[in-house]
Structure 1
Amino acid sequence: MSLTLSDIQHLYAAAGNALYGGEAISQREHALQAAWLAEQAGEDDALVIACLLHDLGHLLFEQGDDDLRQGLDDLHQYKVLPFLRHLLPDEVVNPIGLHVEAKRYLCQAEPGYAEALSESSRLSLALQGGAMSPEAAVAFAHQPHAQRAITLRRYDDAAKIVGMVTPEFDYFLPRLAALAK
């Protein structure tokens, strides 16, 4: 199966109000904040759109807000890839697929990173395998798109601000359409 731009827009409109994994904001707010923070920092269009869509798998596979507390990892970062590969370039898709591994990498590579994660991110980290080993971290850092995934991860971590004002989803549609294959 593949997604269209209309499908993506519909998913955020229909399911985007669901709470974001134990945080006090919605899935849509989280996506918009991540993309807006990336844009404000001057990131390229591909990374802005990767930030916008990085958790699309949660919406596509209907992860419930309570799933983390029940010990369920929906593997959203992997399951969404076949739905996006035909539509968007690797510069968008690959960082999405690596953003959870980037969290695990940063827990190994950056002192204090794990402690700074939100409670929900620490809970999901445990389900996702915890911090990488030093050897795995070296291997991760040498993958194509690893640095972009790390950058996406930092916007992901920051995009949990209750009441943050961002543009609406449609604001990002021209960029998304320009990147579509």
Structure 2
Amino acid sequence: MDNHHPVTREVLHLFHAHGGSRYGGENVSQLEHALQAAYFAERDGAPSTLIAAALLHDVGHLLHDLPADAPDQGIDDRHETLGARWLASRFGPAVCEPVNLHVIAKRYLCAIDPAYFGLLSAPSIQSLALQGGPMNAEESRQFEQHPFHQEAVRLRRWDDAAKVEKLATPYVEHFAGHLDAAAAEGHGA
């Protein structure tokens, strides 16, 4: 692990320390969810920055001190904002912006794809209500103007799929090379 970028070492440590916590109301841990999203991104041929974003899209859940049942209490933890802020000092916009936009990408997909809502898990539907529900037409147009909106939509689809109990994925260390490349691209080596 010593030959990796300092940011990579920090991320690996964060997942080892906090990744075992439950991912909301789903039957996977935070680490399992992150690994599945990154695995799907890698399998789809995404660049290292987007694979890193997939791995780290919910890092805000590992950083806040709210209870795991915050949505049940009517609380939107704003994990995307917290995570993107934390990532901004470690990676460039190609990692941070898809993370920052992955929640509103769900709102966008609910607005433009009639079948999308039916794919959401119950906890994701619950959080959608807390996050503002489907976008209106003007919000959708504004979202489509963001330079990273397509990456956020790709990330969102991996996020939605990454809730499979006992799915075999590579270990977190497998993604260290992608984290190294993304950190070097974002802030220099």
Secondary structure of 1:73 counterpart: coil
RMSD of equivalent CA atoms: 1.3
How many angstroms apart in 2 are the aligned matches of 1:76 and 1:8? 16
Q: Which stretch of the first structure deviates more once superposed, 77-86 or 130-139? A: 77-86
Q: Does 1:61 align with 2:64?
A: yes
2:80 aligns with: 77
Q: 1:14 Cα deviation (Å)?
A: 1.2
The number of aligned residues is 179
Q: 1:106 Cα deviation (Å)?
A: 0.4
How many angstroms apart in 1 are the aligned matches of 2:46 and 2:66? 29
1:144 aligns with: 147
Q: Does 1:169 align with 2:172?
A: yes
Percent identity at matched positions? Answer: 45
Q: Which amino acid aligns with 2:32?
A: E
How many angstroms apart in 2 are the aligned matches of 1:70 and 1:27? 20
How many angstroms apart in 1 are the aligned matches of 2:84 and 2:41? 21
Q: 1:62 Cα deviation (Å)?
A: 3.6
1:111 aligns with: 114
Q: Can you list the C-alpha shifts for 1:145-165, whole angstroms capped at 9, x where unaligned?
A: 001000000000000000100
Q: Residues 63 and 156 of structure 1: is their aligned pair in 2 closer, same or farther, counting only changes over 3 Å?
A: farther
Q: Which runs of 5+ in 1 are unaligned?
A: none
Following superposition of structure 1 onto structure 2, how do residues 2-41 of structure 1 map, counting pairs within 5 Å? Answer: 4-41=7-44
Q: Does 1:122 align with 2:129?
A: no
- For the Cα contact (< 8 Å) 1:21–1:64, is it kept in 2? no
Q: Can you list the C-alpha shifts for 1:72-123, whole angstroms capped at 9, x where unaligned?
A: 1110101122221121121111000000000000000100211220000000
Structure-2-length-normalised TM-score:
0.91
Q: Which runs of 5+ in 2 are unaligned?
A: 1-5
Q: Which amino acid aligns with 1:67?
A: A
Structure-1-length-normalised TM-score:
0.95
How many angstroms apart in 2 are the aligned matches of 1:87 and 1:65? 26
Q: 1:4 Cα deviation (Å)?
A: 3.6
Q: Does 1:154 align with 2:145?
A: no
